[in-house]
Structure 1
């Protein structure tokens, strides 16, 4: 098991390299400049977007998850943060179009920055990792199944982003904790 863990850590390192983490700066500017934020992804990518939304809420952001009954409409001054790991999903593309038509800005996390969805976004965050679109045959680069490497990097990148936002916004860990639900 130690060899597997070491291989996994080796696979994660490129996704946490300085050039990748430098992408937090532009995303921090988008988030801090947004009136409200909505997050969306499909499948396990969607779970990572929900995790990011929760932390943004803990920071005091007006953030929502697309599909939740309480998600408000987006418009001018708002930001949709979405994930399209393989570069295209029909639902993600449709929501990007709706948001853009309403005047919102769109940030896209992806492993395929030249894909149709990232190409239509205002800001692209490239997380270099295998997704389910390239997990078979010679294209496979990870020991993890399907898109797990990309999803793990989404989570870790999101946590680094939150740390940078916390410092930028001057939010203390105690203030974040105070926003944590008591309904668990």
Structure 2
């Protein structure tokens, strides 16, 4: 397969996956993001990298975001939300952290593929990205890419889609966002 054919395959897979995400779930997620005082994020591996990019983009919109485990992570309260990014919804550390967040009284949102995961009973909302996971569920979108690449890519694009929707909903002037950008560079 040529370079062009390969990237076109990847882009087509991402478009298919994003097209399967339910808009009502995205809108509900945006409302929860805007209501929360602080938004915490957790994921592992490459998923963590994608969800960290999403958290950073939301921070650029003035939303108080934190990555679970970062050295300056504040205490979570019942006014806050945890976003768990896990395709399978079975990754041990994110599931344990989600249980703790729920005990505290915070909202828990799962960005993942498996609606029957260990996270299901404790989440306030699942935004399903129905792509191939290590579980190979029957209704998952199959991918020609290795492992969970499609989930990570779709998660990143979903994050940027949500950020743009927030900009439009809140009528944020794009030029004003630079006040939230890092300046020690």
TM-score of the aligned structures, taking structure 2 as reference length: 0.90
Check whether the contact 1:14–1:128 (CA below 8 A) recurs between aligned residues. no
Residue 124 of structure 2 corresponds to residue 122 of structure 1: yes
Residue 170 of structure 2 corresponds to residue 169 of structure 1: yes
Structure 1 residue 169 displacement after superposition: 2.4
Structure 2 gap ranges (5+): none
> Cα RMSD (Å) of the superposition?
1.9
* Distance of aligned partners of 1:29 and 1:140 in 2 relative to their CA distance in 1, 3 Å threshold: closer
CA distance in 1, matches of 2:20, 2:10: 19
Q: Equivalent residue for 1:79?
A: 81
> 4+ runs of 1 displaced by more than 3 Å?
18-22, 132-135
Residue 40 of structure 2 corresponds to residue 38 of structure 1: yes
* Distance of aligned partners of 1:172 and 1:141 in 2 relative to their CA distance in 1, 3 Å threshold: same
Q: Deviations over 1:129-169 (max 9, x none)?
A: 1234449xxx9921211110000000000000001111222
* Distance of aligned partners of 1:45 and 1:54 in 2 relative to their CA distance in 1, 3 Å threshold: same
SS at match of 1:17: helix
CA distance in 2, matches of 1:183, 1:134: 44
Mean Cα displacement is larger for which, 158-167 or 171-180? 171-180
CA distance in 1, matches of 2:114, 2:20: 19
CA distance in 2, matches of 1:140, 1:38: 28
SS at match of 1:182: coil
Q: Equivalent residue for 1:27?
A: 29
Structure 1 gap ranges (5+): none
TM-score of the aligned structures, taking structure 1 as reference length: 0.91
Matches within 5 A, 1:47-58: 47-58=49-60
* Distance of aligned partners of 1:160 and 1:140 in 2 relative to their CA distance in 1, 3 Å threshold: closer
Q: Equivalent residue for 2:157?
A: 156
SS at match of 1:116: coil
CA distance in 1, matches of 2:154, 2:22: 10
SS at match of 2:83: strand
Check whether the contact 1:84–1:118 (CA below 8 A) recurs between aligned residues. no
Alignment size in residue pairs: 181
CA distance in 2, matches of 1:50, 1:144: 22
CA distance in 1, matches of 2:144, 2:92: 28
